[in-house]
Amino acid sequence: MADKEPRNMLPKGFWLNEYQIESVLGKPGGFGITYLAIDTNLRQKMAIKEYLPTDFAIREGISTVYVRSTSDEDSFKWGLKCFLDEARVLARFNHTNIVKVLRYFEANGTAYMVMEYQEGKCFTDYLKEVGTLDENRLLEIVEPLLSGLAEIHKADLLHRDIKPNNIYIRHDGSPVLLDFGSARYAVGQKTRSVTTIVTPGYAPLEQYDNEISAQGPWTDIYALGAMMYCAISGEPPPAATRRVMKDPMIPAVKLGPGKYHESLLKAIDWALQLSEEDRPRSVEEWRRSFLPSGNISANWSPPLTTPKSFRTNKIKWCCWVGGGLSVLLMIFIWFGWQQSTWLHQQAIQAILAKEQAARQKIQEQLEREKTQKRHFEELLKKIKRFQDNAQFEGETAPQFLNKDNVPKKFFDTVGVTLNDTLKVRVFPNHISWEVGKIPPNGKCVLYLGQFRTIGESVWVQIQYKKTLTGWVNSRHLAEHKESDCAKEYEETINQNQTINNAPNQPKTSPPPP
């Protein structure tokens, strides 16, 4: 429990039906609070999660939760429904590596989810104690999580918030997956008002846009791959948004050769592909790439040389194949020329079918690469307009504008209808606060030298009329072709400086006419 109690929490000793609140578990998020409570009937510890979206709800008094305004009532009810739906789905699971939901109920104007309390420590604290993990210990943790995650995906549910803080290591060393984020993302998709909580390094690129339609099992696979990357390197991979243009991430195959199997390192890099189309489509597909047998061999050691068992099995396999071919040859002779011809035709058809399937797979891969290349080329074209001034990124606006050797760029608004305006935002995204508006025929919009790439969009920091400063989407800007903007801007600055530097003069009455 934190040193200071968070706001809006239920007080210690408060009764929820037969449960008595003891403390807050972890750090409360923007969607709810998880408590440690005592089941007074069974005399057991429980974890109770309370639905409390701080974006549009608040607790007044000791217990009751209220909607902040009538305009937020529909959003609050929708989130409550998603919270209860998620609890019903999780209650069906009886997997040792998924947190068990025992019951759920509504009270105090909100809802609660009662879960088994897990004794142990989160994976973040576990790594701080043991450092990086060897291959056997890593697989002992990952394989049960993969089994639990496969069960979740079979129920058409995603976790959406896999990270070390949401993986608990019990005292017996077994892992358990906690704190699902499906309901929170469902509310964010509908209302666009709930703050999307992503953990840099563990959230794939599609989660930054809050587009649930683009998310799937590959979204959770990216997060679990990032957790494995952290376990072998000591650091999580860079945030997905940093990897779009020039990827600074060192591939796993370069981090652990000789210490880990190559198939394991390649599987981690496969899970961390930026494009969701390039990642494994299911947990089973991904697991087979580095756990061919589906489980962990107790005698599996790091691959310094080719394992002896592999060479022995290869010899046995060759012997079986040779014997099988001999039997087939005898069968061909026994049944005669007609049967042999029929088998030959079937073999040719099978080869042709495999060749056709391989050709189709290659064609699909080429189409995906072509689409990805086109997207990157389009993004580079958008960025190129602002790269000349990007070297001044990080400087405040006055410092940037006072540099004589800095070419100032001006733009005009385009693509804004006459009945609309171009909204200027505090931060570079379409859901942040609005600080002002630019009319559809706005001219001489000054670019302040900073840009950010958000998905396939480029947001730039601008100033309009020397007073309105913020971020806009660059697709609404067209470069000003004339030079009158820079001259007008400098004259305005000089006039302002002259007024500010003039000494105070006594006020006099105007001369009579």
The enclosing domain of 212 has a CATH number of 1.10.510.10
284 part of a folded domain? yes
Domains in the chain, number = 4
Whether 498 is covered by a domain: the verdict is no
Same domain, 373 and 397: no
Pair 130, 83 in one domain = no
Whether residues 150 and 288 share a domain: the answer is: yes
Which H/E stretch holds residue 67? strand 65-67
Contacts of 79 (CB under 8 A, 6+ apart): 31, 51, 53, 183, 186, 187, 191, 194
Same structural domain, 286 and 312: no
- 502 in any annotated domain: no
- The pLDDT assigned to 297 comes to 37
Q: Which of 65, 88, 117 is the last residue of a domain?
A: 117
> What confidence tens digit (pLDDT) does each residue in 301-347 have?
333 333 333 334 445 555 566 667 766 766 667 666 666 667 777 88
Three-state helix/strand/coil letters over 459-484: EEEEEECCCEEEEEEHHHEEECCCCH
Q: Are residues 370 and 416 in the same domain?
A: no
Same-domain check for residues 292 and 176: yes
Cα–Cα distance list, 101 to 91, 104, 263, 478, 509 (Å): 5, 8, 35, 55, 82
Q: List pLDDT tens digits, range 418-450.
A: 778 899 999 998 888 899 999 988 888 999 988
Burial of 361 (0-12, 13-18, 19+ CB in 10 A): exposed
* 127/58 same-domain check: no
Please indicate, yes or no, if residue 102 is contained in any of the structural domains: yes
Residues contacting 297, CB < 8 A, separation 6+: none
User: Are residues 343 and 247 located together in one domain of the fold?
Assistant: no
Q: Give the length of the chain.
A: 513
Q: Are 213 and 242 members of one domain? A: yes
Q: Are 203 and 180 in contact (CB under 8 A)?
A: no
Q: Which of 102, 117, 132 marks a domain boundary?
A: 117
| Whether 176 and 261 share a structural domain | yes
Each residue's pLDDT tens digit in the chain (513 positions)? 334 455 678 999 999 999 999 999 876 666 789 999 999 999 999 999 999 988 888 888 888 999 988 888 888 998 899 889 888 888 888 999 998 999 999 999 999 999 999 888 999 999 999 999 999 999 999 999 999 999 999 988 888 889 998 899 999 999 999 877 665 655 555 555 444 567 899 999 988 876 667 789 999 999 999 999 999 999 999 999 999 988 999 999 999 888 999 999 999 999 999 999 999 999 999 999 998 654 443 333 333 333 333 334 445 555 566 667 766 766 667 666 666 667 777 888 888 888 888 888 888 888 888 877 887 777 787 787 787 555 444 444 445 455 555 568 889 999 888 778 899 999 998 888 899 999 988 888 999 988 898 877 899 999 998 889 999 998 889 888 776 787 767 666 666 565 555 555 444 444 443
Model confidence pTM above 0.85:
no
CATH number at residue 23: 3.30.200.20
Instruction: Flag whether 243 is in a domain.
Output: yes
And the tokens for 393? 């990124």
Residue 207 Cα distances to 93, 124, 195, 365, 376, angstroms: 25, 22, 12, 24, 19
Does residue 497 fall inside a structural domain? Answer: no
Q: Is residue 96 part of a domain?
A: yes
Residues 73 and 153 in one domain: no
Residue 67: the pLDDT is 92
Domain membership flag for residue 48? yes
Indicate if 409 and 321 belong to the same structural domain.
Answer: no
- How far is it, in rounded angstroms, from Cα 294 to Cα 288? 7
| Cα(134)–Cα(144) distance, integer angstroms | 17
Domain limit, last residue, from 254, 287, 304: 304
Please list the helix, strand and coil fractions of the chain in percent, rounded to the nearest 5, in that order: 45, 20, 35
What is the span of the domain harbouring residue 435?
387-492
